[in-house]
C-alpha cells in the first residue's frame, strides 16, 4: 500500500511539473513602480496597444547625463521590442504574399523596417522616471503606440505600400497574438 501511494505521489508531482513553465519577471526591487520590475514589454490597455521600453543608468556624477542615458536606453529597448514585432509582421507579410519571386521584395521591406524602427524611436516618449534610493540608479520608461507606428508607416513614401496596407489590416491581430504569447 505504501509503494502504491509513493508511486501515485511521484506521478502527481511529475504531472504537476510538466505544466507550462512560468518565469517570474518581477525584479523584486522594493518600492519600485511596477514598470521597473516588469521591464520592457508590449501591453494592451485603455491607452492602446503599447510598446514599453525600460532603461536605467547608474550614478554618473552628472544627473542630467544620467537621466539622458536612462532615457536613451529606454528608447533603445522600445526599438528592440518594436523590431521583434516587425520581424513577425514581415514574416506574416511574406507568407501572405508568397515567397517565390518576392524574396528580393521581402529583403527590401526588411531594410525599410530597420529604417522605420529608427524613425519610430523619435516618436517614443518618456513617460516616467524612478530613482532607486539605495543604489542611485535612475530608471526611465519610454512608450510607443501601435497606432502611431501605423501612421508613420502609412506616411512613409519610401515604404512598400503593400506592407503598409498589410500592417494596417493585420497589425492589431499580430500584436494581440504576440501579447498572448508572452503570457
d(CA 9, CA 128): 49
Q: For the stretch 3-16, what's the b/e string if a residue is b when 16 or more beta carbons lie within 10 angstroms of its beta carbon? A: eeeeeeeeeeeeee
**DSSP assignment of 76-113:** HHHHHHHHHHHHHHHHHHHHHH-STTTHHHHHHHHHHH
Q: What is the pLDDT of residue 106?
A: 57
* C-beta separation of 152 from 63 below 8 A: no
Domains and CATH numbers, the chain: 31-181 (3.10.129)
Give pTM, 2 decimals: 0.75
Residue 42's nearest CA partner among 54, 30, 32 is 54
Can you tell me which residue has the cell 507579410?
93
Q: How confident is the prediction along the chain (183 residues), in pLDDT tens digits per residue?
A: 444 333 333 333 333 333 333 334 456 788 999 999 999 999 998 889 999 999 999 999 999 999 999 999 999 999 899 888 888 888 888 788 765 445 555 566 666 666 666 655 667 899 999 999 999 999 999 999 999 888 888 887 777 788 888 889 999 999 999 888 765
- Angstrom CA distances, 169 to 14, 93, 119, 124, 164, stand at 44, 11, 21, 23, 9
Residue 104's nearest CA partner among 115, 119, 116, 94 is 94
**Three-class SS state of 56:** strand
Amino acid at each position: 500500500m505504501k509503494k502504491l501511494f509513493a508511486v501515485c505521489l511521484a506521478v502527481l508531482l511529475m504531472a504537476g511539473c510538466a505544466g507550462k513553465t512560468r518565469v517570474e519577471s518581477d525584479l523584486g526591487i522594493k518600492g519600485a513602480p511596477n514598470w521597473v520590475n516588469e521591464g520592457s514589454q508590449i501591453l494592451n490597455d485603455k491607452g492602446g496597444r503599447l510598446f514599453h521600453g525600460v532603461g536605467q543608468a547608474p550614478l554618473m556624477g552628472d544627473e542630467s547625463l544620467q537621466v539622458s542615458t536612462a532615457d536613451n536606453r529606454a528608447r533603445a529597448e522600445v526599438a528592440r521590442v518594436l523590431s521583434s514585432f516587425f520581424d513577425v509582421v514581415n514574416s506574416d507579410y511574406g507568407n501572405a504574399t508568397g515567397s517565390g519571386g518576392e524574396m528580393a521584395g521581402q529583403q527590401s521591406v526588411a531594410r525599410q523596417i530597420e529604417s522605420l524602427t529608427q524613425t519610430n524611436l523619435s516618436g517614443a516618449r518618456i513617460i516616467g522616471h524612478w530613482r532607486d534610493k539605495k543604489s542611485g540608479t535612475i530608471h526611465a520608461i519610454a512608450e510607443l503606440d501601435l497606432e502611431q507606428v501605423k501612421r508613420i508607416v502609412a506616411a512613409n513614401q519610401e515604404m512598400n505600400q503593400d506592407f503598409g496596407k498589410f500592417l494596417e489590416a493585420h497589425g492589431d491581430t499580430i500584436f494581440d497574438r504576440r501579447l498572448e504569447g508572452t503570457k
